[in-house]
Structure 1
């Protein structure tokens, strides 16, 4: 997953304004008790951050991949 895809999913799944605020402020335990933004800034892979954020927010698998029904989910590492 590229950064562009990460941000596109944030906008589609969480909503542009609300999603970006969540990325900046919501602390995710699986990311070492960092925000998603801090994890990205520290070099974590976007797909790792996306999976952790979705898990923490209890986003169902059916909603995690945005509006494109043909988008494939990036594998977990």
Structure 2
């Protein structure tokens, strides 16, 4: 998954403004207690980060 695809899915799930807030502020256990922004900045693959988002939030099947 490319980073652009990741952000498209984030925006579809949360809306553009809230997606940025979730990425910046929400600590996700599946990412080792990091935020989305931290995980991506530290080189975590976008696909793995997206899987953590899916596991944490009620993401519709169409966005999996």
- Could you list the runs of 5+ residues in structure 1 that have no partner in the other structure? 66-72
Distance in 2 (alpha carbons) for counterparts of 1:20 and 1:2: 17
Unaligned runs of 5+ in 2: none
Aligned-residue Cα RMSD (Å) equals 1.2
- Higher percent of residues as helix: 2
Which of the pair has more CA radius of gyration? 1
Number of residue equivalences: 64
Aligned to 1:8: 8
Relative to the length of structure 1, the TM-score reads 0.76
TM-score by length of 2: 0.89
Q: Which runs of 4+ in 1 moved over 6 A?
A: none
Q: Separation in 2 of the partners of 1:20 and 1:49?
A: 14
